[in-house]
Each structure stands twice: as structure tokens, then as C-alpha cells.
Structure 1
């Protein structure tokens, strides 16, 4: 029987919202794919959108299996414990590429944005991989299986993944896009 504690209720609500979002976006996603299929040319935006979408769905499914399954064995845990983390990592990287593409377009294809922001994004990818994978071992309890840092005295490097690389890149992309939007509106006399 499933115990309804705060964590379980939060998971059920978040899975419900995410599932609703997936179903709500099916018509738009289908239209995007159909447009790409007619042209017989896959755009980078479509490719990274698909990666972000399906890796996010995979991450939610892996998290749900981990949270609500009681059939894990120590051996199966060793093979599956990184699935939620890796799929979330790939989805996050795809979203960062989409943010980069959009910021580059807003900047009117500025070479500074192309090379500067692009370099920062690419340099952040290994840092994110390090934050997710370094010293992460399978932690198997009576009910679930997840990756945790189990080495004594070792900090949890998830902070590097969640704050240092993606948040820094997002903040820089936001500032860059805002600058170019304000700059363009001043040139056109709107502001």
C-alpha cells in the first residue's frame, strides 16, 4: 500500500501537472513535426526541442518508477540508478541550446553572442556532467534506488550541476537578450 506522506503527494501532483502539460502540447508539437517533415529539413530548434521534450518525459518516468516501485534488487539498482539524473541532464542541456539559439536570434546574430555565449554554454556542459556523475553511487534502500554521494566527507556535487553551470548560463543569456531588446527598441525609438 502506498503511504500518502507529503513527498508522495508532491510527486503525484507534479506527475499529474507534467502529464497534463505533455498532453496539452501534443497538437503544437505535432504541427511542428509535420512542418519539418513537409520541408524534409530538420531544424536545430526542432531537434533540440524533441530532445528536451522526450528526455524530460523519460526523466519523469524514471523518477516515477524509482519513487513508486518496490521491485528493485541491488543488481537492478546498479544498472538503473543514474537514469533519472542522466535524462534530466540531457533535457537541461537541450534547453540551454534552445536558449542559446533564441538569444543569438534576438542579438541579430551578433558574433559576440555567437562565440561568447556559445563558448560559455559549451564550457558549462562538462561542469554539469561532473556535478551529476562524480562519485555518485547507487543507494539501495528497502523501497527505492537512487544515486547519492556515499563517500565520507565528500560534498554532494549536485550543487555544481544545479547552480554553477545552468543558472549562470541562464542569467547571462537573460542579461544578453534583455540588453539587445532594450538596445533595439532605443534605436527604433520605442523606448
Structure 2
């Protein structure tokens, strides 16, 4: 009776944790609906989505799928040992897929912050595939179906638990890529308050992501080592919600900074003549928006970059021309350089 009471208490705690994670994720989904709409509206067409928008959709709705599958197995009461065998591995598979999407977001972000350095890019690709291989192996090894009161959850059996090592690998990848991006950001010497704010936001986003997600991963490691096999995955839903929220927040902040920069450039161009506006558009580059400029004379296109790229803006010195007509009706003009 005592052992049964402990199992019931553990299951109740697991359900409370899952309900809390679902509530937080649902609240965040609702308040980010306007940001999602702005993501779609900023695309040139739905058939040519930018990489940031694709990653946003994948992490947002991939997370909904994995949370739905995982929590259905826990809250359902109709599973048998046979039906659970056909279901229990689906949630762990989507769990790795969600982590892979999140790590792609961090990797692309770090690669662009590192100014698309070839060596950094190769290192990130190698690190990514090594991490993914370890995550698939550790998350699938020695998994068994666990059925308690009709619930179906994946458990980790054997003398050596491997599922907890999944979180260690994920934390190692996050630490590596965020260390690289932070080092590069600290090397920037912002020339104005706008760039300084940009660098500060990118640093805070990276550190916040790592701190919150590491806390969730440590919680899951503790649960895998201290809980019984029926409640090992009690904190999994919290991890799903944290990855979802923090990953999409990075993309939302990058898009907002990009939109702000675009409006600033439009205001600059509106105050100038069409010829000067065209010259400014080719010289001033947003730190976060994509660069795709066509020279009307040569017909050549600049290399296209992703909308999460971090570049240093080029200074433009336009000439302001004033027309003056004196009292005799004679028109004259003069110009003076102005640093923009």
C-alpha cells in the first residue's frame, strides 16, 4: 500500500508539471500570434519563405505536435501493454526532432554573427551532426513502454541509464555555440547607440536561452536519476515548452530588430532624392535584414544572405542641395556634405 501511494503521488506530481507546462505554452502561443502574423506578412510570398520564417514555423508547430503526443500518452487511460508498444517511441522521436530544429536556429544565428566565417561554419556543422547522432542514440537506447492505470510513457531501463545523457549532450551543444556567438559579439565595437543596442539584445537573448534551457535540462537529469521508472519523464513537457518559447523568442527579436532597421532606412530614403535614395540603399545594410541588391547597369546580383545576418553598417555622406532665388529672379544652388 505504501509503494502504491508513492506511485500515485508521483503520477499526480507529473500531471501537475505537465498541466503547468501546457498552460505556459498556450499562453505564450496566444500572445505571440501577432508576431506570427507579422512574420508571414514580411515574406515576399508564401511560396518563397525566408529561412527565419521556416524555422519559426517548424519550432512553433513541431513543439505543439511533440507536446500533444507526449501529454496524450500521460493523460489517456485506455492504453494496454500491446497498444503502448506501438505508441511509446513516438514522443521521444519528436523530442529529438524539436531539439534538432532549435539547434539549427542557434547554429545559423552563431554562423551569421561570426560573419559567415568558413572555419566556424565547418566547426558548427561537425558539432551539430555529432550532437544529433549522440542525441538519437542516447534517447532511444534501452527504452521500454511503461503502462500505469492506462497511461503510456517511455521509460529507461537497465543498469546504466542513457536517456539522461541526451540532456547533457544538448547542454554541451548550446554552451559551445552560444560561447562562440558571445565572443564574436563582444569583439564588435559599436559606433553608435543603435548598434550597441543590437549587440546587447543578441547577447542577452543568447544568455537567457542558455540559462533557462539549462535549468530545464538539469531538472530532467535529476528526475531520471531520482524518480522511479513510471515518472522518469515527468519534466519532459517542461523541456518541450522551454525549447519552444526560447527558440521562437530569438527569431521574434531578430525579426523585430530587422523591421525597425527597415523603417529607419525608409525614413532616410524618403528625405532624399530618388538617385540618392538608390545609392543609399546599396550602401547602407541592415544588421539583420537580407541583402539582395541588383545593379541596374551591370545586372549583377549581390550574394544573398539570410535575414539573421549581423553586419556593420556603411557610413553614407549624402549631399544636401538647397535652391535659392534672389530678389532679381536669379536662381542659384549650393551643396554641403552631411554625415548620415
What's the TM-score, normalizing by structure 2? 0.50
Query: Counterpart of 2:31?
Result: 24
Change in Cα spacing, 1:183 to 1:17, as seen in structure 2 (3 Å) is same
Aligned runs of 1:16-95 on 2, under 5 Å?
16-36=23-43, 38=45, 40-95=47-102
Within 2, Cα distance between the matches of 1:27 and 1:62?
A: 26
Q: Which has the higher contact order (CA 8 A, sep 6+)?
A: 1
**Counterparts of 1:77 and 1:178 in 2: how far apart (Å)?**
44
Out of 112, 118, 125, which is 1:105 matched to?
112
Instruction: Determine the structure 2 residue equivalent to 1:132.
Output: 139
Q: Work out which of the two has the higher radius of gyration on C-alpha atoms and give 1 or 2.
A: 2
Q: How far has the Cα of 1:51 moved from its partner?
A: 1.9
Q: 1:46: how far off? A: 2.3
Give the superposition deviation at 1:39: 6.3
1:178 partnered with 2:182: yes
Q: CA 1:145–1:177 in structure 2 vs 1: closer, same or farther (change >3 Å)?
A: same
Q: Normalized per residue, which structure has more helix?
A: 1
Contact 2:156-2:163 within 8 A present in 1 as well? no
Secondary structure of 2:45 counterpart: helix
How far has the Cα of 1:14 moved from its partner?
Answer: 1.5
> Which of structure 1's runs of 4+ aligned residues deviate more than 4 A?
none
Once the two structures are TM-superposed, the CA of residue 61 in structure 1 deviates from its matched residue by 1.0
Of 121, 137, 147 in structure 2, the residue corresponding to residue 114 of structure 1 is: 121
The 1-side partners of 2:138 and 2:40 are apart by 33
Q: Distance in 1 between matches of 2:22 and 2:50?
A: 30
Q: Give the superposition deviation at 1:137.
A: 1.9
The question of whether the paired residues in 1 share the 8 Å contact of 2:114 and 2:181 is answered with yes
Q: Report what 1:168 is aligned to.
A: 172
Counterpart CA distance in 1 for 2:132 and 2:77 is: 34
Gaps in structure 2 of 5+ consecutive residues: 1-8, 197-340
Number of residue pairs matched? Answer: 185
3-state secondary structure, aligned to 2:146? strand
Deviation at 1:143, TM superposition (A): 2.9
Q: TM-score by structure 1 length?
A: 0.86
